[in-house]
Amino acid sequence: MDRQQEYVLRTLEDRDVRFIRLWFTDVVGALKSVALAPAEVEYAFSEGLGFDGSSVEGFTRIFESDMLLQPDPTTFQILPWRGDEEQTSRMFCDVKMPDGEPSMADPRNVLRRTLNTAADMGFSCYLHPEIEFYLFKADQWDDQGVPVPVDEAGYFDHVPGGVAQDFRREAVSMLEAVGISVEFSHHEAGWGQNEIDLRVADALSSADNIMTARTVIKEVATLRGLHASFMPKPLGSQPGSALHTHFSLFESDANAFHEPGAEYQLSTTARRFIAGVLRYSAEITAVTHQFVNSYKRLWGGKEAPSYVSWGHNNRSALVRIPLHKPNKAGSARIEYRGIDAAANPYLAYALIISAGLKGIEEEYELPDAADEDIGLLTTRERMLMGHAALPTTLHDALGVLEESEFVADVLGESVFQSFLRAKRAEWDEYRVNVSPFEIRRYLDAI
Amino acid sequence: MSQPLSHRELLSAGIQDTARAESLLDSKELVGVELGDLLAQLAVAPDPDTALLLLIRLIEREPTVTRLVTADAARPLLRLLGASEALGEYLIRRPEQLDIFRDPDVDSTPACGGLVDAQGSAIDAAPVLRARLLASVGADPYEEPPVATMTGKDASVALRVEYRRQLVAIAVQDLMADDPVAMQPVVSMWLSDLAAAVLEAALAVSRAEILIRYDEATDVELTVIAMGKCGARELNYFSDVDVIFAHDVAEGSQLTRQAAADIAGELAAGITTVVNQPAREPALWEIDTNLRPEGQDGVLSRTVSSHLEYYQRWAHTWEFQALLKARPVAGSLALGQRYLDALSSLIWQASTREGFVRQVQRMRHRVIDHISHDQRQREIKLGPGGLRDVEFPAQLLQLVHGKTDPELRVRATEDALEALQAGSYIGPSDAQVMTNNYRFLRLIEHRVQLVRLRRTHMMPDTEHELRMLTRSMRPISGQWPKDPEQLVKAWKATVRSNRTLFEQLFYRPLLPSTAALSPDDARLTPEAATARLAALGYRDPRGAVRHIQSLTSGVSRQAKLQRQILPAMLGWLAWGPDPDGGLLGFRKLSESVGGSHWYLHMLRDSSAAGERLAHVLSSSRYITDMLEHTPQAAAWMDRDQDLMPLSLDTIQTEMTALIHRHPNLPDAARYVRVVRRREILRISLADACDLVEQPQVSQALAAADQAAVEALLRLVVDHVTQKWGGEGPRADVAVIAMGRQGGYEAGYGSDLDVMFVHQPAAGVAVDEASRFAVDVAKALISFMKMPTRPPIVLEPVLEIDADLRPEGRRGPLVRSLDSYRAYYEQWADTWEIQALLKARAIAGSQHLQDAFTQWADSVRYTHGLTKAQAQEIRRMKARVEAERLPRGADPARHLKLGRGGLTDVEWLTQTLQLQHTPDYPELQTTNTLKALEAAKAAELLTAEDANILIHAWSLATRIRSGIVISTGKVSDVLPTNRDLLEALARWTGYDAGEVGEFEDDYLRITRHARAVFERVFYGTTSPRAVSDF
């Protein structure tokens, strides 16, 4: 029993916690949860909690059904929205095989493996995710069957007496209560669209934090009679929701992306990292944009970066080098803008970080930076400047992913295969669906 | 020259090159020296020739040295000069240091004699040495922390001169000792303390240099942790010193974390500079900082919490063995202690990992494998039976039992042995033997290194060096070793004894105390025995204890032999994927062989046989079960030759003889089947012992089946003929193997797919001949599988399956050759031509076999494929993919019908054969791998594609055979059960614990094979876009 585990057991006792939820994630990033009584926690630490994985997406068919959840005591938190009565807590789990080896199908393990590779190269990875989402009025639809956003405000708008503002205040304090520091929160460009930026943390914690934040945001919305959604593009006329993420690598205590005096203060390591990320951005699109709906955001024309490019403070670029305060070496970072709000953070981050590491390892050359709005260029211009287009549909993206040895290698064959299988099934279902658009357009006209 | 010297006097002083010595003795420096006295003293020098030369050069620099000779006080000096050229050169370079020979008490240095107290026992030299070395760079040893007054190269020179002065003092005491073997640990301790003092003094210099630049540097505390030999105070004369740095910042300091880390890094780097930068006095040893977190790429110094964070990631790995010896030696010792406290809990958790000992042992084997063969024999440290073979089991036992017994948490090897013995984890005599062996080898190492102060661990091999080593090992007052021969003999005996130590220490104590061989053996408590068995990889240690008890208890001869054999067997069994199953199998086998004297004797006398048997038992249920019923087969383990599969001819000869002796059909059939079963066991044993590759295995299995079919066919033809009233057979009947058997690709438990062909005997109507032939075929099928009396236990029954014949089950069981001809000309589907590619005649008259083959060749090899036929094959395959895969099966894991599985590769290969054989006769083969190789050579496939297909097919085939070997059952699915997967991973050549990689590799390789298949066979460019495979 190590100190962390002891701490958990002591807290359970001291705070009279009644339930412990064990959280883990399936391949598409849906949070799964099992509740445990405090008396069983000690056993779960030492032996793991057996569960039948055969009904969980991604664990199906690949392995025998008996698997173990191994709670990670460093992720222990009391869940505040349950109130003081009957306190509930949660821990994230690693999914293990009965012999204690990590499950090859566990997305958290995919990210862990990547981070271990990074550590072997001497790097630790830190992330700063920006979570966007829409707030709708619960159970209200307009005459087109479209959900109704809580307000019609825009970017950074202050809405007096606004619902969204109160919502954000409560969500942020709830997040702080579960130990997730929030850097920033504000109204986004779309009607009812909000953004909450988490403070920088190591990559695994960041991914855990995103899973927690999604839950917290949805819980708070429900408590306030609202509905929160991370759907990438819920409203055709409004911008989509992304999960822009800032990446930085540290070598021991120093920021490996920072080099004073270099162009944009970017070190060679940073340039290679970006080159790697760009090179694989098309192959990983099916993971960073994993739903049919994702492509309506990606190709919706509203500031989603759909071409492979990078630039200094260029919001149309896939990789943006943020302006940062000079002489703040520690804050050097790059922003990857090609992840939508509904991605599985474990898999998406594992792929992006691995792509960057590959760039470093194989010393990829970085192409020239783009300094204009790439969306405004002509197709020919983009071609000449080497800005390839990302896949335009889930189907295309899966085709590219399927051919990618890189992705298969990072995800491992099991996750690779089950991801493809789940997503192909989704596409097949979508393909045969007749949409309201088609009814409107064709039913009377033809 | 004062007086003429006789040759005898020179020789008795040990001079080798007398002519040269004579001229040296003639040199002007020795004028006035009584040469007889000199020679008498020179006799103590291990290499008198060199000592004499060095002495003359020394007198040249410092003439007063002759007074030592005259005063009959030159023995320590001459012994040193003859043992260490390097230190001789140092004295010539620094003659002022010779004072330590003139007056051992000079200037209260711990020089000659100064390290031993009045009672003659060694004193703790650490504080003295620390004070001397600090003083050499002008630092006050009582200041906290000490800061040098000297800096730069001057400091380096001063420090190094003082270091070597103390080294001379230590070497002289070592060389002059009455019992250098007993003295060895003390010498190592002094050497370690001296190295620690160097680090402390170098740190004082580094600190002085850094304070010139940053005042805040006083806020940074640094500790130097020695690892390895220096950490355990068992350093030798010349070796890298392994260190790790940790730092902390004083409370209230203004320094940022980064700035503090930078200062600590500079302080640490400064130590290396002082010790190693070029200066007038040569550099000392390397300071190796690579054991730090992240190795060469990591920062030099970290805070304690940063160290801890790093090591937590590595918990359970072998890295921790290095930490076992960590000891703070310089800088802030309090900070060093905090470092140790923080990490100690991690160290002692390492052994709880499953199969810990096995993994660690494997690393040891890898190290040995990396040493070149001729060096291996002379390696004192890493070679088999070398120092590592003492240190290693001691450390492992510490890690295994130290988790519960804090008494074992000591650093030095000798201390560990003592603690292990005190705790009864090893026997007192073992501990004694190990300690002696260890010291003896260390002494050799010391003496060898002393000569040139080089890092070497090689036993010398020239006559001259060996002679010198012998003389330097032999104390002045002693007789042993008399000559190089005696020394080498003792060394070899030590190496031999060390080689078996592991087994001796790990496994022998596991025998129950009633079975102890001698009262000297250690007696483990039941808890300790359980912990040890678990660390060795036994999942059910209690069960294992029961088996051990049952095998070794009693006074029978058998039990006595078992006590000798079992310790080694326990070790070998632990290497397999299923040690518990293996031990149970060994118990059953031993009980079933009973008192057969050859069995236990073989195991006692042939370690190869024992190791093989253990390996087989712990990896295969299939073989273990068969062995239990055919225990005589264990005898084959002793000789490769006995394990090699027999040729078809040999099996046929034996079967023919058996038939001859047992004319009664049921008896004869039974004998044929018994021989076949025996041969399958032999093949599986050879396979499990890695004596044969998969293609040979398949070939041998095919031969065993063919011989059985052939023999039985002869029997049933006679039998049916008699039933038909004699008068000779009505028809000639031949058996044609199809499918895997036809291609020599059979696995364990494969069916035999066949077609039967007949040719009417002269004057017999086709109809009658057909009926006769059908009777023969039916009898063959049934006698091959019907129960026998007495039964053949665990026989892998050969199912003969004729369903692949034209028209399948609806068609006649046997056709005449003409009928085949007619059928194929008029009716045959393309798939039937494809099936014919695997046809191989295996029994019946040679004439009919040849005729069939000739006809088959004309069908399968001469036509090529029309477009329509090619399309038909593709459609057929598509239908098979949709229909044949069992419901609910995962296509990625189905070895035969799955994605990139056997069928994919075979259909692609067969299509190529049908299409191209008319132009490329080299494609004429029934064997898939040969066909693929031929297609590659003919460039019908790119080498890359062909290799992917070959790889996938071979892997799937290997896994299928592994499934039968492990479970005794045939299955076409890559299992999801982890234990079985682990066994299969081992069977296919992966290491323990690599099951994840194995599974991933299989899925990837077959995915690639499927991509090739889609492209080449279906002609689609986007693989899998068209199917859910």
- DSSP labels for B723-742? HTTSSS-SEEEEEEE-HHHH
Closest by alpha carbon to B197, among B153, B277, B137, B248? B137
Which pLDDT value is given to residue B307? Answer: 86
Which pLDDT value is given to residue B668? Answer: 93
Q: Could you give the ipTM of this predicted complex?
A: 0.73
Collect all residues of chain B within an 8 Å Cβ-Cβ radius of residue A396: none
Specify whether B873 is located in the same domain as B729: no
For residue B890, give how far its alpha carbon lies from the nearest alpha carbon of chain A (Å).
7
| Selected residue of B1003, B1012, B1029 to mutate for chain A interface (largest A Cβ count, 10 A) | B1003
Q: Phi then psi for B43, rounded to 5 degrees?
A: -60, -20
3-class SS shares of chain B: helix, strand, coil, % to 5: 65, 5, 30
* CA B106 from centroid of its chain's CA atoms: 54
Specify whether B364 is located in the same domain as B257: no
Closest by alpha carbon to A203, among A303, A110, A266, A297? A110
Inside any domain, residue B603: no
Specify whether B343 is located in the same domain as B363: no
Query: Under a CB-based contact definition with an 8 Å cutoff, are residues B914 and B836 in contact?
Result: no
Which pLDDT value is given to residue B1025? Answer: 42
Inside any domain, residue B156: yes
Inside any domain, residue B513: no
| Selected residue of A99, A113, A400 to mutate for chain B interface (largest B Cβ count, 10 A) | A99
Inside any domain, residue B382: yes
| Selected residue of B257, B258, B317, B354 to mutate for chain A interface (largest A Cβ count, 10 A) | B258
DSSP state of B1026: T
Chain A residue nearest residue B293, CA to CA: A122
Collect all residues of chain A within an 8 Å Cβ-Cβ radius of residue B992: none
Nearest neighbour of A122 by CB, restricted to B297, B977, B1024: B297
* Residue B782 CA neighbour count, 13 Å, CB half: 10
In degrees to the nearest 10, what's the CA dihedral of B226, B228, B230, B232? 100
B155's tokens: 């400091």
Query: Under a CB-based contact definition with an 8 Å cutoff, are residues B200 and B130 in contact?
Result: yes
Which pLDDT value is given to residue A207? Answer: 95
Distances (CA, A) of B746 to B427, B705, B932, B958, B1006: 52, 9, 18, 11, 21
Collect all residues of chain B within an 8 Å Cβ-Cβ radius of residue A62: 890, 976
| Per-residue pLDDT reduced to its tens digit, A163-205 | 888 888 999 999 998 888 898 888 888 888 999 999 999 999 9
Between chains, do B1004 and A408 touch, taking CB under 8 Å as contact? yes
For residue A347, give how far its alpha carbon lies from the nearest alpha carbon of chain B (Å).
17
Query: Under a CB-based contact definition with an 8 Å cutoff, are residues B820 and B832 in contact?
Result: no
Nearest neighbour of A253 by CB, restricted to B258, B982, B995: B258
B622's tokens: 């299939």
Specify whether B368 is located in the same domain as B447: yes
Strand partners, A47: none
Query: Under a CB-based contact definition with an 8 Å cutoff, are residues B291 and B285 in contact?
Result: no
Closest by alpha carbon to A209, among A218, A220, A197, A221? A197
Between chains, do B977 and A64 touch, taking CB under 8 Å as contact? yes
Looking at B323, B347, B371, which one is the last position of a domain? Answer: B347
Identify residue A148 by its one-letter amino acid code. Answer: V
Strand partners, A245: A129, A336
3-state secondary structure of B755: strand
3-state secondary structure of A21: strand
Burial class (CB in 10 A: 0-12, 13-18, 19+), A123: buried
Query: Under a CB-based contact definition with an 8 Å cutoff, are residues B784 and B709 in contact?
Result: yes
- CATH number of the domain where residue B118 is located: 3.30.460.10
Mean pLDDT of chain A: 87
- Is the peptide bond prior to B145 cis by the omega test (within 30 degrees of 0)? yes
Nearest neighbour of A99 by CB, restricted to B258, B354, B1028: B354
Specify whether B752 is located in the same domain as B829: yes
User: E strands within A40-122?
Assistant: 49-52, 66-71, 77-79, 88-96
Between chains, do B1003 and A98 touch, taking CB under 8 Å as contact? no
Identify residue A347 by its one-letter amino acid code. Answer: L
Count of residues making up chain B: 1029
Inside any domain, residue B426: yes
**Predicted confidence (pLDDT) at residue A53 exceeds the cutoff of 80:** no
Query: Under a CB-based contact definition with an 8 Å cutoff, are residues B831 and B873 in contact?
Result: yes
Between chains, do B299 and A252 touch, taking CB under 8 Å as contact? yes
CA atoms of B176 and B225, how far apart (whole Å): 32
3-state secondary structure of A127: strand
CA atoms of B737 and B804, how far apart (whole Å): 10
Place of tokens 């022998």: B508
Query: Is CATH 3.30.590.10 the right assignment for the domain spanning A113-437?
Result: yes
pTM confidence score: 0.73
Closest by alpha carbon to B221, among B189, B175, B264, B254? B264
Specify whether B331 is located in the same domain as B370: no
Which pLDDT value is given to residue B521? Answer: 65
Higher model confidence: residue A382 or residue B735? B735
Identify residue B350 by its one-letter amino acid code. Answer: A
Specify whether B322 is located in the same domain as B465: no
Which pLDDT value is given to residue B318? Answer: 58
Specify whether B171 is located in the same domain as B211: yes
Nearest neighbour of B1000 by CB, restricted to A104, A399, A424: A104
> What CATH architecture applies to the domain A3-101?
Roll (3.10)
Which pLDDT value is given to residue A27? Answer: 86
B898's tokens: 């799955």
Place of tokens 């008399």: B482
Nearest neighbour of A63 by CB, restricted to B261, B299, B976: B976
Q: Phi then psi for A340, rounded to 5 degrees?
A: -100, 170
Q: Phi then psi for B895, rounded to 5 degrees?
A: -65, -35
CB-based contacts of A26, cutoff 8 Å, min separation 6: A32, A56, A57, A58, A59, A107
Chain A residue nearest residue B295, CA to CA: A122
Query: Under a CB-based contact definition with an 8 Å cutoff, are residues A196 and A217 in contact?
Result: yes
Chain A residue nearest residue B899, CA to CA: A417
Between chains, do A253 and B299 touch, taking CB under 8 Å as contact? yes
Between chains, do A116 and B313 touch, taking CB under 8 Å as contact? yes
CA atoms of B733 and B43, how far apart (whole Å): 93
Looking at B797, B825, B859, which one is the last position of a domain? Answer: B859
Inside any domain, residue B886: yes
| Selected residue of A252, A402, A428 to mutate for chain B interface (largest B Cβ count, 10 A) | A252
- CATH number of the domain where residue B1005 is located: 1.20.120.330
Higher model confidence: residue B905 or residue A417? B905
Identify residue A338 by its one-letter amino acid code. Answer: G
Closest by alpha carbon to B772, among B709, B730, B806, B821? B730
Specify whether B199 is located in the same domain as B186: yes
In the stretch 236-275 of chain B, residues with CB closer than 8 A to chain A read 257-258, 261
Place of tokens 């490769």: B640
Which pLDDT value is given to residue A231? Answer: 95
Between chains, do B297 and A63 touch, taking CB under 8 Å as contact? no
CA atoms of B503 and B397, how far apart (whole Å): 12
| Per-residue pLDDT reduced to its tens digit, B151-207 | 999 999 999 999 999 999 899 989 998 999 999 999 999 999 999 999 999 999 999
Q: Phi then psi for B291, rounded to 5 degrees?
A: -80, -5
Between chains, do A116 and B977 touch, taking CB under 8 Å as contact? no
DSSP state of B37: H
Give the Cβ contact number of residue B632 at 10 Å.
12
Which pLDDT value is given to residue B58? Answer: 94
Q: Is B518 on the interface with A (CB under 8 A)?
A: no
Inside any domain, residue B161: yes
- Percentage, residues of chain A above pLDDT 90: 44
B441's tokens: 């080898």
Which pLDDT value is given to residue B181? Answer: 92
User: How many domains is chain B partitioned into structurally?
Assistant: 4
Query: Under a CB-based contact definition with an 8 Å cutoff, are residues B865 and B914 in contact?
Result: yes
Which pLDDT value is given to residue B316? Answer: 47
A2's tokens: 């190590």
- Is the peptide bond prior to B481 cis by the omega test (within 30 degrees of 0)? yes
CA atoms of B155 and B206, how far apart (whole Å): 10
For residue A329, give how far its alpha carbon lies from the nearest alpha carbon of chain B (Å).
11
Specify whether B301 is located in the same domain as B339: yes
**Predicted confidence (pLDDT) at residue A125 exceeds the cutoff of 60:** yes
The pLDDT-based confidence of A328 (bands split at 50, 70, 90) is low
Where in chain A do CATH 3.30.590.10 domains reside?
Answer: 113-437
Region for residue B790 given its phi and psi (left: phi exceeds 0; alpha: psi -120 to 50; beta: otherwise)? beta
Q: What is the largest CA-CA distance in chain A?
A: 71
DSSP state of B422: H
CA atoms of B328 and B196, how far apart (whole Å): 9
| Selected residue of A396, A413, A419 to mutate for chain B interface (largest B Cβ count, 10 A) | A413
Looking at B506, B531, B564, which one is the last position of a domain? Answer: B506
Where in chain A do CATH 3.10.20.70 domains reside?
Answer: 3-101
Distances (CA, A) of B745 to B589, B676, B970: 31, 17, 15
Which pLDDT value is given to residue B80? Answer: 95
> In this structure, is the dihedral angle defined by the CA atoms of residues B851, B857, B859 and B860, taken in order, positive or negative?
positive
Specify whether B901 is located in the same domain as B999: yes
Query: Under a CB-based contact definition with an 8 Å cutoff, are residues B806 and B820 in contact?
Result: yes
Between chains, do A252 and B1007 touch, taking CB under 8 Å as contact? no
DSSP state of A389: B
Inside any domain, residue B563: no
Burial class (CB in 10 A: 0-12, 13-18, 19+), B164: buried
Orientation angle between helical segments B257-276 and B152-176, nearest 10 degrees: 60
CA atoms of A266 and B997, how far apart (whole Å): 37
Which pLDDT value is given to residue B111? Answer: 45
Which pLDDT value is given to residue B109? Answer: 47
CA atoms of B33 and B979, how far apart (whole Å): 81
B457's tokens: 């661990």
3-state secondary structure of A246: strand
User: Which segments in chain B show pLDDT lower than 50?
Assistant: 1-2, 107-113, 315-316, 1023-1027
- Chain A residues with CB-CB distance to B under 8 A? 2, 61-64, 97-102, 104, 116, 119, 121-122, 251-254, 399, 402-403, 408, 412-414, 417, 421, 424
Q: Is B1021 on the interface with A (CB under 8 A)?
A: no
**Predicted confidence (pLDDT) at residue A64 exceeds the cutoff of 60:** no
Between chains, do A99 and B999 touch, taking CB under 8 Å as contact? no
Query: Under a CB-based contact definition with an 8 Å cutoff, are residues B615 and B689 in contact?
Result: yes
Between chains, do A402 and B996 touch, taking CB under 8 Å as contact? no
CB-based contacts of B599, cutoff 8 Å, min separation 6: B590, B593, B631, B634, B635
Specify whether B154 is located in the same domain as B209: yes
Query: What is the domain extent for residue B967?
Result: 867-1018
